[in-house]
Structure 1
Amino acid sequence: MHYDRGVYAMVELREETNFYEILGNTLTDYEKKVNLCKDLQGVREDFILNIAHDLRTHLNVVLSVIQLLKIKHKSVNEGDKKWEEYTQTITKSCYKMLKLVNNLIDVTKLENDYFICNKENLDIICLVESIVNSVNEYAKCKNISIIFDTNEEECKMSVDPEVIDRIVMNLLSNAIKFSPKNSEILVNLTVSDEEVKIEFKDEGPGIPKEEMELIFNRFHKVVKNITSEYEGNGIGLNLVYNLVKTHNGNISVYNNTDKGCNFVVTLPRCIDEECGCSRKIKANTKVQVLEIEFSDIY
């Protein structure tokens, strides 16, 4: 049987139409699934934030009660070593949990664009040096010396001081945890025309080569080194990575040829005329921040 070209053209057109209909339906289904995944991801992140906020509230209540008990029973229990030991253990455990909760909240906010930066024009050299000096006390428990060096005396730029605080303290906390006793940690700040580099060099065991590309992933934990008594939770370095990104910066890591590893934070130099003046963090607030950040060391 012979069919003319018109019939063939109609068949081909119908097949082509069916193809595009199927393709369109497939894409629509795919889009629905993608949107569903996004919704589920949002629900999951909101759940984490809500639970973490509740945990933080209850932990702060426990810490407040401990402080009141210390004040109320100071005269009654003065010289009672067991009382001091128990309250210190409870406080330290609360601080450890607060550190984990705070990091989890901030990482979740950063990954979902909830995090707000409050930048100021300030001297970053003075800021980093003051953080290093405040951390030195916690390094002494392992007889570790933290040495700060810089190629300039002053460098004003636009940063959020609390973000820089978290970055430096987190990296120093890691360095102290994984460094052997009686060693040194070098913090070197280098200023150039376009950027500022802050380098953290320790004398620890270093990072396995196969772990280098995963080190900043959320919840990734480096295989515990037999020489270290500490084990991370896989949040701290991911938090640092995301905090550095809020300043359009970069962070890298590499092992030293002899021992230890280097973390290098690179931040672009810029001044924002709309930024306010530097604000001071209250002394008692700063002390608690340090106690929380280094609760798994001392």
Structure 2
Amino acid sequence: YVKDIWKIEETFADYIGTDLNGSGTAIQPALQYAKQQKEGIMSILYLDAKGKVLFSAGEDYFYEPLILNSYIEELNNGKERVIGNLTGNLMPYDKYVIPVLYGIRNQGELSGMVAAFVDAEKLAYNMPNINLYRSFLLLDRDGMIVCSSKFKDHIKNQSSLTDNTGVAKALSGSVEKTVKEKSVFDDSTNISVDYPISEFGWAIKISSPLGRVQSFHTFLAIQSFSLLIATFILAILVHVLWVKKFLKSTFAVKLAATRIMEGDYSARTDIRSEDDIGLIATAFDKMAESVERWTAAKTLLFTNISHELKTPVNVIYASVQLIESYRHSRDLTLETYQNKVSRQMKIIRQNCYRIMRLTSNLIDIGRHDSGFLKPKMENYDIVKLVRDISLSVERYVEAKEIELIFHSELESQIMACDPDMIERILLNLISNAVKFTDRNGMITVSIEDDQDKIILSVQDTGIGIPQDKLQSIFERFKQVDDPYHLNRDGSGIGLSLVNAFVDAHGGTITVVSEESKGTTFQISFPIRVLGNSPANKQEGPISKMPLVSPPNSVNRINIEFSDIYSLYDEEMMQEDAWKGEAS
């Protein structure tokens, strides 16, 4: 507020220049304009260097030369601007004013001055709002109260506060903090801070009743202590609840683990929380589910293996008994005896194939699980390999009155593969297709080119696979549980082994099926060639080994197709057995 008044005076001084003896026609309006620029200016004077009033605007009762003499002396001593002390009883009005002066200089010498008398009460309006329980004092250089939070009651008939230690130190330019100080208004004890306004030479005193400050701090201490106690109690409750929940969850995990150890693999924790215990419980439940699934698979394995072994062993045993009965029969001619024994030997051989197929699959599955199922890769013409394998089983398929077709988009394609695994894959897929395809059906083996891949497909027109079973057919020991699939023998590991062989080649296998229309197995093999042999040529020896060894191929076909022809042979065996018993 005071700086604004100094700015108004400076602007006026710049306007009039140094014309102290002018006519006043321009000065008086300028002085009147300056008075109107700030509310609270009671009067504004334009004086010469000795303090003589040249022009004035407002009430002239405010001017008293003796009052301004000390301030004029300060201006003469080099100060540019000065604010005086509180002044009162100099007018017929009940007003207290504060003189604010600005020096006008010409070549460094004081040539005049502007003095504004400011209403002290208006100055109080510019003070900040102070809390009801605090007092605010603005003190001039003489220690007189210019304005306070109790202005009307204490501005009049006051005495200087320079005898107050805090006020004296603040007027001398230092900050003073007092814990116990007697109030300047009454006998109460205050806590106060005295702060200097160095630019004016004035001071500010802010005080609060010590009792109220102590009460407030006591309240804060009690509030903080109460909050601490409440927090502590809440922490204990949270801890108790967490421990209770933790113990409950831990007990649930322990109980589920105990039940699993006792053989109940259906045990679960049933904890669904998102905290660490919940994550552990979820992992435990998944582990228990996996254990239950593999236990069921193991049980199914034993059941299937027992059935798969029992059936051919029983057939072999029955054939041996029949041969024994033929040997002791006196009614059979040598030729008849030889024919019957030959038939039973075929049955024994066929069921030996079934046992060999099962044991071979189990060994390969074990090698795959142990990481020892490695393909023996060499460069082969995959088109010729697949064609030879398909043609080698043609008479077996046609014996079931099913048409087998081979089709290839390529004449030749050299790629690295294991011919034994490729043969096992094809024989397994074709034998499955024969199992589930009725008479007059069709099985198509095809090869297609897909840029850097070879697509091998086996398609049949059989009974198909239900859509909800397609995702599980490659799982070990899984067989489609459906009335259409009854009376089809199998251990449930054939397709799992096919998947393992395909994976060993870095390929993928997919299946598409529609019930009553057929199934298509599609295998994608990456085209890779060992050494420097080009993938698109077939000149020169590809391998020292023949692509398909006829005797070995026949044995493998007999082994892989043993399930298909065993039913017929068993019927024939049973027929011979009935005839033997009748005779």
Same fold (TM over 0.5): yes
Distance 1:257 1:100 in 2: 28
Among 168, 173, 176, the alignment partner of 2:431 is 173
SS of 1:218's equivalent in the other structure is coil
TM-score when normalising by structure 2: 0.39
Distance 1:113 1:227 in 2: 33
Hey, what does 2:563 align to over in structure 1? 296
1:184 aligns with 2:451: no
Describe the shift of the 1:196–1:212 C-alpha distance in structure 2 as closer, same or farther (beyond 3 A): same
Q: Deviations over 1:242-283 (max 9, x none)?
A: 110001111111114871111111111111218982522543
Describe the shift of the 1:153–1:234 C-alpha distance in structure 2 as closer, same or farther (beyond 3 A): same
Hey, what does 1:247 align to over in structure 2? 505
Describe the shift of the 1:95–1:224 C-alpha distance in structure 2 as closer, same or farther (beyond 3 A): farther
Distance 1:224 1:248 in 2: 32
Q: Which has the higher strand share?
A: 2
Q: CA offset at residue 289 of structure 1?
A: 1.2
Hey, what does 1:142 align to over in structure 2? 400
Distance 2:354 2:511 in 1: 26
Q: Deviations over 1:194-240 (max 9, x none)?
A: 11111111111100111111010000011244376423221101110
Distance 1:216 1:101 in 2: 19
Distance 1:170 1:225 in 2: 22
SS of 2:468's equivalent in the other structure is helix
Hey, what does 2:543 align to over in structure 1? 277
Structure with bigger RCO (C-alpha 8 Å, 6+ apart): 1
Hey, what does 1:236 align to over in structure 2? 494
Describe the shift of the 1:196–1:187 C-alpha distance in structure 2 as closer, same or farther (beyond 3 A): same
Hey, what does 2:419 align to over in structure 1? 161
Letter in 1 for 2:561: F
Distance 1:156 1:268 in 2: 11
Distance 1:152 1:257 in 2: 31
Q: Deviations over 1:79-128 (max 9, x none)?
A: 52210121111111111111111111112211221112100111000000
1:267 aligns with 2:525: yes
The CA RMSD over aligned residues, in Å, is: 4.3
Structure number with bigger Rg: 2
- Taking only the aligned residue pairs, the percentage that are identical comes to 31
Distance 1:213 1:97 in 2: 28
CA contact (8 A) 2:464 2:516 kept: no
CA contact (8 A) 1:159 1:247 kept: yes
Distance 1:141 1:245 in 2: 32
Among 264, 280, 287, the alignment partner of 2:554 is 287
CA contact (8 A) 1:256 1:262 kept: no
Among 191, 194, 200, the alignment partner of 2:458 is 200
Describe the shift of the 1:259–1:278 C-alpha distance in structure 2 as closer, same or farther (beyond 3 A): farther
CA contact (8 A) 2:461 2:518 kept: yes
List alignment gaps of at least 5 residues for structure 2: 1-221, 240-249, 251-275, 328-332, 534-541, 566-583
Aligned residues: 270
Q: Deviations over 1:162-182 (max 9, x none)?
A: 111110110000001110012
Describe the shift of the 1:208–1:152 C-alpha distance in structure 2 as closer, same or farther (beyond 3 A): same
Letter in 2 for 1:285: N
Distance 1:252 1:278 in 2: 33
Distance 1:143 1:158 in 2: 35
Letter in 1 for 2:398: K
Letter in 2 for 1:222: V
Hey, what does 2:129 align to over in structure 1? none
Describe the shift of the 1:86–1:163 C-alpha distance in structure 2 as closer, same or farther (beyond 3 A): same
CA contact (8 A) 1:138 1:297 kept: no
Q: Which has the higher helix share?
A: 1
SS of 2:393's equivalent in the other structure is helix
Letter in 1 for 2:421: V
Among 366, 372, 382, the alignment partner of 1:114 is 372
CA contact (8 A) 2:463 2:515 kept: no
| Shift >4 Å, 4+ stretches | 76-79
Distance 1:171 1:225 in 2: 21
List alignment gaps of at least 5 residues for structure 1: 16-21
Q: CA offset at residue 131 of structure 1?
A: 0.3
TM-score when normalising by structure 1: 0.74
Worse overlay, 84-93 or 130-139? 84-93
Q: CA offset at residue 296 of structure 1?
A: 1.3
Among 108, 124, 130, the alignment partner of 2:382 is 124
CA contact (8 A) 1:191 1:197 kept: yes
Letter in 1 for 2:543: C
CA contact (8 A) 1:155 1:191 kept: no
